[in-house]
A = this chain, B = another copy of it.
Protein backbone atom coordinates (compact mmCIF):
# COMPACT_ATOMS: atom_id res chain seq x y z
CA UNK A 1 0.00 0.00 0.00
CA UNK A 2 2.98 2.26 0.69
CA UNK A 3 2.79 5.46 -1.30
CA UNK A 4 -0.43 4.63 -3.12
CA UNK A 5 -3.95 5.54 -2.07
CA UNK A 6 -6.16 2.44 -1.73
CA UNK A 7 -9.32 4.58 -1.79
CA UNK A 8 -8.77 7.17 -4.55
CA UNK A 9 -12.49 7.89 -5.06
CA UNK A 10 -12.87 8.90 -1.43
CA UNK A 11 -12.12 12.53 -0.58
CA UNK A 12 -9.72 13.16 2.27
CA UNK A 13 -11.57 13.79 5.52
CA UNK A 14 -13.00 12.15 8.60
CA UNK A 15 -15.10 9.59 6.69
CA UNK A 16 -12.18 8.17 4.74
CA UNK A 17 -9.93 8.47 7.77
CA UNK A 18 -12.33 6.43 9.92
CA UNK A 19 -12.02 3.53 7.47
CA UNK A 20 -8.23 3.71 7.30
CA UNK A 21 -7.93 3.98 11.07
CA UNK A 22 -10.19 0.99 11.69
CA UNK A 23 -8.38 -1.23 9.20
CA UNK A 24 -4.97 -0.27 10.50
CA UNK A 25 -6.08 -0.95 14.08
CA UNK A 26 -7.40 -4.46 13.47
CA UNK A 27 -4.64 -5.55 11.08
CA UNK A 28 -1.53 -4.28 12.85
CA UNK A 29 0.07 -6.91 15.10
CA UNK A 30 0.64 -5.54 18.57
CA UNK A 31 -2.23 -3.06 18.38
CA UNK A 32 -4.75 -3.47 21.24
CA UNK A 33 -7.61 -4.38 18.87
CA UNK A 34 -5.67 -6.59 16.47
CA UNK A 35 -7.91 -9.26 14.90
CA UNK A 36 -6.66 -12.50 13.33
CA UNK A 37 -7.40 -12.79 9.58
CA UNK A 38 -10.02 -15.54 9.97
CA UNK A 39 -12.12 -13.23 12.17
CA UNK A 40 -11.95 -10.33 9.71
CA UNK A 41 -15.51 -10.66 8.43
CA UNK A 42 -17.11 -7.70 6.66
CA UNK A 43 -20.77 -7.67 5.58
CA UNK A 44 -22.29 -5.44 2.93
CA UNK A 45 -25.86 -4.66 2.08
CA UNK A 46 -26.28 -4.50 -1.71
CA UNK A 47 -29.17 -2.23 -2.81
CA UNK A 48 -28.22 1.37 -2.10
CA UNK A 49 -24.90 0.32 -0.58
CA UNK A 50 -22.93 -1.37 -3.38
CA UNK A 51 -25.14 -0.41 -6.28
CA UNK A 52 -27.96 2.09 -6.69
CA UNK A 53 -31.53 1.32 -5.65
CA UNK A 54 -33.26 4.14 -7.53
CA UNK A 55 -35.69 4.77 -9.13
CA UNK A 56 -36.56 1.31 -7.72
CA UNK A 57 -34.65 -1.80 -6.70
CA UNK A 58 -32.94 -3.21 -9.78
CA UNK A 59 -34.42 -6.62 -9.07
CA UNK A 60 -37.85 -4.99 -9.34
CA UNK A 61 -36.94 -3.95 -12.89
CA UNK A 62 -36.09 -7.60 -13.50
CA UNK A 63 -39.46 -8.65 -12.06
CA UNK A 64 -41.28 -6.20 -14.32
CA UNK A 65 -39.42 -7.36 -17.40
CA UNK A 66 -40.21 -10.96 -16.48
CA UNK A 67 -43.90 -10.06 -16.07
CA UNK A 68 -43.93 -8.55 -19.53
CA UNK A 69 -42.20 -11.57 -21.02
CA UNK A 70 -44.57 -13.98 -19.29
CA UNK A 71 -47.80 -12.00 -19.85
CA UNK A 72 -48.74 -13.52 -23.26
CA UNK A 73 -49.04 -16.91 -21.58
CA UNK A 74 -51.17 -15.50 -18.75
CA UNK A 75 -54.32 -13.88 -20.16
CA UNK A 76 -55.88 -14.24 -16.69
CA UNK A 77 -53.55 -11.51 -15.38
CA UNK A 78 -55.84 -8.91 -16.95
CA UNK A 79 -58.19 -9.36 -14.00
CA UNK A 80 -55.51 -8.58 -11.44
CA UNK A 81 -55.09 -4.81 -10.74
CA UNK A 82 -51.51 -5.21 -9.50
CA UNK A 83 -50.42 -7.27 -12.50
CA UNK A 84 -52.05 -4.93 -14.99
CA UNK A 85 -50.40 -1.97 -13.24
CA UNK A 86 -47.01 -3.58 -13.77
CA UNK A 87 -47.75 -4.29 -17.42
CA UNK A 88 -48.95 -0.70 -17.91
CA UNK A 89 -45.90 0.74 -16.15
CA UNK A 90 -48.17 2.30 -13.52
CA UNK A 91 -45.54 2.59 -10.80
CA UNK A 92 -47.81 4.47 -8.43
CA UNK A 93 -50.22 1.55 -8.12
CA UNK A 94 -47.33 -0.87 -7.85
CA UNK A 95 -45.73 1.19 -5.10
CA UNK A 96 -49.04 1.29 -3.25
CA UNK A 97 -48.91 -2.49 -3.09
CA UNK A 98 -45.82 -2.15 -0.92
CA UNK A 99 -43.43 -4.91 -0.02
CA UNK A 100 -46.26 -7.43 0.12
CA UNK A 101 -47.23 -6.76 -3.48
CA UNK A 102 -43.64 -6.89 -4.65
CA UNK A 103 -43.08 -10.17 -2.88
CA UNK A 104 -46.07 -11.61 -4.69
CA UNK A 105 -44.71 -10.39 -8.02
CA UNK A 106 -41.24 -11.70 -7.22
CA UNK A 107 -42.64 -15.08 -6.28
CA UNK A 108 -44.64 -15.63 -9.45
CA UNK A 109 -41.75 -14.50 -11.67
CA UNK A 110 -38.98 -16.30 -9.79
CA UNK A 111 -40.62 -19.72 -9.37
CA UNK A 112 -41.67 -22.59 -11.59
CA UNK A 113 -38.27 -23.43 -13.03
CA UNK A 114 -35.08 -25.15 -11.92
CA UNK A 115 -32.28 -23.22 -10.23
CA UNK A 116 -30.17 -23.55 -13.38
CA UNK A 117 -32.96 -22.27 -15.60
CA UNK A 118 -33.48 -19.31 -13.29
CA UNK A 119 -29.77 -18.49 -13.23
CA UNK A 120 -29.76 -18.40 -17.03
CA UNK A 121 -32.80 -16.10 -17.16
CA UNK A 122 -31.24 -13.71 -14.64
CA UNK A 123 -27.82 -13.83 -16.31
CA UNK A 124 -29.33 -13.05 -19.71
CA UNK A 125 -31.24 -10.12 -18.26
CA UNK A 126 -28.34 -8.59 -16.35
CA UNK A 127 -26.16 -8.33 -19.46
CA UNK A 128 -28.83 -6.57 -21.48
CA UNK A 129 -31.22 -4.48 -19.34
CA UNK A 130 -30.29 -0.84 -18.87
CA UNK A 131 -30.82 1.64 -16.09
CA UNK A 132 -33.51 4.20 -17.03
CA UNK A 133 -31.62 7.26 -15.82
CA UNK A 134 -28.01 6.41 -16.58
CA UNK A 135 -28.57 4.28 -19.68
CA UNK A 136 -25.91 1.84 -18.54
CA UNK A 137 -26.09 -1.79 -17.60
CA UNK A 138 -27.28 -2.17 -14.01
CA UNK A 139 -23.95 -3.78 -13.19
CA UNK A 140 -22.29 -0.51 -14.19
CA UNK A 141 -24.45 1.47 -11.77
CA UNK A 142 -22.27 0.36 -8.86
CA UNK A 143 -20.38 2.68 -6.56
CA UNK A 144 -16.72 2.98 -7.49
CA UNK A 145 -15.76 4.01 -3.93
CA UNK A 146 -17.38 0.85 -2.56
CA UNK A 147 -15.53 -1.32 -5.08
CA UNK A 148 -12.32 0.24 -3.85
CA UNK A 149 -13.39 -0.41 -0.27
CA UNK A 150 -14.14 -4.09 -1.00
CA UNK A 151 -10.72 -4.51 -2.61
CA UNK A 152 -8.99 -2.62 0.20
CA UNK A 153 -10.57 -4.81 2.86
CA UNK A 154 -9.71 -8.01 1.00
CA UNK A 155 -6.14 -6.83 0.51
CA UNK A 156 -6.06 -6.53 4.30
CA UNK A 157 -7.20 -10.10 4.90
CA UNK A 158 -10.92 -9.50 5.20
CA UNK A 159 -13.50 -11.92 3.85
CA UNK A 160 -16.28 -9.86 2.28
CA UNK A 161 -19.91 -11.00 2.27
CA UNK A 162 -23.09 -9.58 0.80
CA UNK A 163 -26.05 -9.66 3.20
CA UNK A 164 -28.97 -8.27 1.26
CA UNK A 165 -32.73 -8.31 1.09
CA UNK A 166 -32.29 -9.08 -2.61
CA UNK A 167 -32.78 -12.57 -3.94
CA UNK A 168 -29.73 -14.71 -3.29
CA UNK A 169 -29.90 -16.53 -6.61
CA UNK A 170 -30.41 -13.26 -8.47
CA UNK A 171 -27.33 -11.62 -6.93
CA UNK A 172 -25.12 -14.64 -7.41
CA UNK A 173 -25.25 -14.42 -11.20
CA UNK A 174 -23.21 -11.19 -11.13
CA UNK A 175 -21.67 -10.77 -7.65
CA UNK A 176 -18.47 -12.67 -8.39
CA UNK A 177 -17.71 -10.87 -11.62
CA UNK A 178 -18.84 -7.42 -10.48
CA UNK A 179 -17.83 -7.34 -6.81
CA UNK A 180 -15.32 -10.18 -6.59
CA UNK A 181 -17.63 -11.87 -4.08
CA UNK A 182 -18.09 -15.60 -4.74
CA UNK A 183 -21.54 -17.25 -4.55
CA UNK A 184 -20.78 -18.85 -1.18
CA UNK A 185 -20.32 -15.37 0.30
CA UNK A 186 -23.62 -14.02 -1.00
CA UNK A 187 -26.48 -14.14 1.51
CA UNK A 188 -29.95 -12.97 0.56
CA UNK A 189 -33.66 -13.59 0.55
CA UNK A 190 -34.86 -16.84 -0.95
CA UNK A 191 -37.84 -18.85 -2.04
CA UNK A 192 -38.27 -22.54 -1.27
CA UNK A 193 -36.45 -25.01 -3.51
CA UNK A 194 -37.23 -28.69 -3.80
CA UNK A 195 -34.87 -31.49 -4.77
CA UNK A 196 -36.30 -34.03 -7.17
CA UNK A 197 -35.29 -36.47 -9.87
CA UNK A 198 -36.80 -35.58 -13.23
CA UNK A 199 -36.26 -38.28 -15.86
CA UNK A 200 -33.33 -39.54 -13.84
CA UNK A 201 -31.74 -36.09 -13.61
CA UNK A 202 -31.43 -34.40 -10.19
CA UNK A 203 -32.85 -30.88 -10.19
CA UNK A 204 -33.71 -28.18 -7.68
CA UNK A 205 -37.10 -26.73 -8.53
CA UNK A 206 -38.02 -23.23 -7.38
CA UNK A 207 -41.41 -23.06 -5.66
CA UNK A 208 -43.67 -20.00 -5.32
CA UNK A 209 -43.20 -19.75 -1.56
CA UNK A 210 -40.98 -17.43 0.46
CA UNK A 211 -38.26 -19.25 2.36
CA UNK A 212 -36.42 -16.43 4.10
CA UNK A 213 -36.59 -12.64 4.11
CA UNK A 214 -33.08 -11.31 4.65
CA UNK A 215 -33.93 -7.86 5.94
CA UNK A 216 -34.14 -6.07 9.29
CA UNK A 217 -34.00 -8.66 12.10
CA UNK A 218 -33.44 -11.30 9.43
CA UNK A 219 -29.95 -10.00 8.67
CA UNK A 220 -28.23 -10.94 11.93
CA UNK A 221 -30.13 -14.25 11.87
CA UNK A 222 -28.81 -14.96 8.36
CA UNK A 223 -25.29 -13.85 9.29
CA UNK A 224 -25.29 -16.30 12.17
CA UNK A 225 -26.74 -19.08 10.04
CA UNK A 226 -24.40 -18.68 7.08
CA UNK A 227 -21.22 -17.24 8.53
CA UNK A 228 -21.32 -18.38 12.14
CA UNK A 229 -19.05 -15.57 13.24
CA UNK A 230 -19.96 -12.05 14.20
CA UNK A 231 -18.66 -9.57 11.60
CA UNK A 232 -16.33 -6.82 12.73
CA UNK A 233 -17.47 -4.42 10.00
CA UNK A 234 -20.90 -3.78 8.47
CA UNK A 235 -21.96 -1.50 5.64
CA UNK A 236 -25.53 -0.47 4.85
CA UNK A 237 -27.70 2.43 3.83
CA UNK A 238 -31.15 2.07 5.37
CA UNK A 239 -33.13 1.09 8.44
CA UNK A 240 -33.25 -2.41 6.97
CA UNK A 241 -29.56 -2.60 7.84
CA UNK A 242 -29.99 -1.35 11.40
CA UNK A 243 -29.98 -4.76 13.11
CA UNK A 244 -26.99 -5.91 11.07
CA UNK A 245 -25.05 -2.89 12.26
CA UNK A 246 -26.27 -3.36 15.83
CA UNK A 247 -25.22 -7.01 15.81
CA UNK A 248 -21.83 -6.19 14.32
CA UNK A 249 -21.05 -3.32 16.64
CA UNK A 250 -22.35 -5.27 19.67
CA UNK A 251 -19.22 -7.43 19.73
CA UNK A 252 -16.05 -6.78 21.69
CA UNK A 253 -12.96 -5.02 20.39
CA UNK A 254 -12.87 -2.61 17.50
CA UNK A 255 -16.02 -2.59 15.36
CA UNK A 256 -16.92 -0.59 12.30
CA UNK A 257 -20.35 0.45 11.09
CA UNK A 258 -20.99 2.58 8.03
CA UNK A 259 -24.10 4.00 6.39
CA UNK A 260 -24.16 5.36 2.85
CA UNK A 261 -26.28 8.51 2.88
CA UNK A 262 -27.65 9.40 -0.54
CA UNK A 263 -27.08 13.15 -0.75
CA UNK A 264 -26.15 13.69 -4.36
CA UNK A 265 -29.11 14.54 -6.63
CA UNK A 266 -26.86 15.21 -9.61
CA UNK A 267 -24.47 12.30 -9.79
CA UNK A 268 -26.91 9.82 -8.21
CA UNK A 269 -30.00 10.55 -6.06
CA UNK A 270 -30.76 12.41 -2.86
CA UNK A 271 -33.24 10.74 -0.52
CA UNK A 272 -33.78 9.47 2.97
CA UNK A 273 -37.07 7.82 2.18
CA UNK A 274 -37.62 5.64 -0.89
CA UNK A 275 -40.83 3.85 -1.83
CA UNK A 276 -39.62 0.70 -0.09
CA UNK A 277 -37.14 1.78 2.53
CA UNK A 278 -35.92 4.65 4.62
CA UNK A 279 -32.90 5.87 6.52
CA UNK A 280 -34.21 7.30 9.75
CA UNK A 281 -33.72 5.23 12.90
CA UNK A 282 -30.32 3.99 11.75
CA UNK A 283 -29.15 7.55 11.11
CA UNK A 284 -30.04 8.58 14.65
CA UNK A 285 -28.36 5.49 16.06
CA UNK A 286 -25.26 6.13 13.94
CA UNK A 287 -24.69 9.36 15.83
CA UNK A 288 -25.12 7.63 19.18
CA UNK A 289 -22.96 4.62 18.31
CA UNK A 290 -20.23 6.40 16.38
CA UNK A 291 -20.96 4.74 13.06
CA UNK A 292 -19.52 6.44 10.00
CA UNK A 293 -22.05 8.15 7.73
CA UNK A 294 -20.97 8.70 4.13
CA UNK A 295 -22.16 12.01 2.72
CA UNK A 296 -22.11 10.83 -0.88
CA UNK A 297 -21.97 14.32 -2.35
CA UNK A 298 -19.00 15.44 -0.31
CA UNK A 299 -17.17 12.24 0.60
CA UNK A 300 -16.99 10.69 -2.87
CA UNK A 301 -15.12 12.43 -5.68
CA UNK A 302 -16.43 9.81 -8.05
CA UNK A 303 -19.65 7.82 -7.78
CA UNK A 304 -19.64 5.61 -10.88
CA UNK A 305 -16.77 4.40 -13.04
CA UNK A 306 -18.62 5.54 -16.17
CA UNK A 307 -18.45 9.18 -15.12
CA UNK A 308 -16.29 11.30 -17.40
Q: Enumerate chain A interface residues (CB-CB to B < 8 A).
A: 38, 41, 115, 159, 168-169, 172, 176, 182-186, 190, 193-197, 201-202, 204, 211, 217-218, 220-221, 224-229, 243, 246-247, 250
Contacts and interface: CB of A to CB of B under 8 A. Distances in A.
B172 A228 contact: yes
A201 B228 CA distance: 19
Contact of A202 (B172, B184, B195, B220): B220
B195 A225 contact: no
A169 B228 CA distance: 8
Contacts of A182: 38
A246 B202 contact: yes
Contact of A184 (B176, B195, B220, B229): B229
A202 B250 contact: yes
Given A226-B184, A243-B202, A217 B190 contact: no
A159 B159 CA distance: 14
B229 A183 contact: yes
B220 A195 contact: yes
Task: Give the number of copies in the complex.
Answer: 2
A37 to B, nearest CB: 11
Nearest to A159: B184
Contacts of A196: 217
Given A159-B184, A195-B243, A226 B224 contact: no
A248 to B, nearest CB: 9
Contact of A197 (B41, B183, B246): B246
Contacts of A217: 194-196
A193 to B, nearest CB: 5
A184 B193 CA distance: 21
A253 to B, nearest CB: 15
A259 B38 CA distance: 31
A43 to B, nearest CB: 11
A89 B250 CA distance: 41
Contacts of A172: 228
A183 to B, nearest CB: 3
Given A184-B226, A193-B221, A202-B220, 12 more contacts: A115-B224, A183-B228, A184-B184, A184-B227, A190-B225, A193-B225, A194-B217, A194-B221, A195-B243, A195-B247, A202-B246, A226-B226
A186 B228 contact: yes
A36 B38 CA distance: 23
A243 B202 CA distance: 8
Nearest to A228: B183
A211 B185 CA distance: 21
Contact of A204 (B190, B194, B202, B220): B220
Contacts of A228: 168-169, 172, 183-184, 186
Contacts of A201: 250
22 contacts: A38-B176, A38-B182, A159-B184, A183-B227, A183-B228, A183-B229, A184-B184, A184-B185, A184-B226, A184-B227, A184-B228, A184-B229, A193-B225, A195-B243, A195-B247, A202-B220, A202-B243, A204-B220, A204-B221, A204-B224, A211-B225, A226-B226
